[in-house]
Amino acid sequence: MLTHIDKSNLPSMVDVSEKENSIRVASAISSIQLPEQMRDYFTGDDFKLKKGPVFQTAIIAATMAVKKTHETIPLCHQVPIESCKVNIEVNDDLRVDVTCKVRTSYKTGIEMEALHGAMVACLTIYDMCKAVSHNMVIGETKLLSKSGGKSPVLNNVKGLILTGGKSSRMNRDKALIEYKNRPHALYLKSLLEKYCDEVFISSRKGQWDGTPLESEKLLFDDEKMTGPVAGMLAAFNRDPSANWIVIACDLPYINESTIETLIENYDPSKVAVSFKNKEKGFAEPLCTLYTNKAREVFEKAYLEDTRCPVKVLKSVETIALEQRGKINLSNINTPTEYQEAKEFLAKGESI
């Protein structure tokens, strides 16, 4: 039976009066493709037109839309909004991505509010820019994540990009390798920012001086430690209460499906959510969502001289998922593999 149809076959709002309040979080994204003419009006963080600052106006519009969703969608409940965060990113091709994350403590979900906010932001951008050109296309609008109710709440999520050092076989830093006209570490950063409150790039002191990563949020390894565990513990110690999505910079095929699958399978009772290695079946530790239980586990392992993150995950409760569909954790170690990945991604198969 359809939940919005009553016994008389008439439209009806779902009765949530018997439900208890719980924390609900939802994130949605919408995009709009701007024409090349708009590039002349970009000031580095916004488009400045006679009507005013485009993105600032869009953020206000999105916030208003979130609060008034029940007035637009007929059978939506009037949900008390406790938080609304709107993030706007301009890609190199002038595609603008708007992410709207909404939070409440209520009896029903909040995904419609997030979707409404993201979509209205794009409509506002269109309205602000139409004096320059009508050649704009509002693209895909979709839900990125939702939690609450019967599902666990995923909040306080931060991202870490593990960069390592110069690869002897590649003869350069994998973090700076470009697949689509920007260093891969910066692509991973922009991807994780859609889901995380903050995103950091692991680093040794001075490692990224004079590079495009120099001005990013860097998280310095403990100089007494080595290997990926050093970067991971630096993150876990920075915010022990947070959930951390950790991604290695030599994984070129990471996409939204990868991150969303990790989030959808989040379980706070486990140490981590990861993917199985296709050949050997172990949990891949460098594309993983770690819960706040991870810090204690990795500190103990390090003190016991276990420096291999694969071995650490083998010793604890971990959700290990199959790599299906668009999920591909193949890494790049040679110039030949890099060229193959670059050609594959140029076809628009992934990122």
> Is 174 among the annotated ligand-binding positions?
yes
The reply to whether 52 sits in an annotated binding site is no
Decide if 92 is catalytic: no
Catalytic option among 46, 127, 239, 267: 127
213 is in an annotated binding site: no
Q: Which residues of 300-332 are buried (b: 16+ CB within 10 A; e: fewer)?
A: ebbeeebeebeebbeebebbbbebeeebbbebb
Q: Is 221 annotated as a binding residue?
A: yes
Could you tell me which residues are annotated as the binding site for Mg(2+)? 250
Q: Which residues are catalytic?
A: 127
Could you tell me which residues are annotated as the binding site? 162-164, 174, 221, 250
Could you tell me which residues are annotated as the binding site for GTP? 162-164, 174, 221, 250
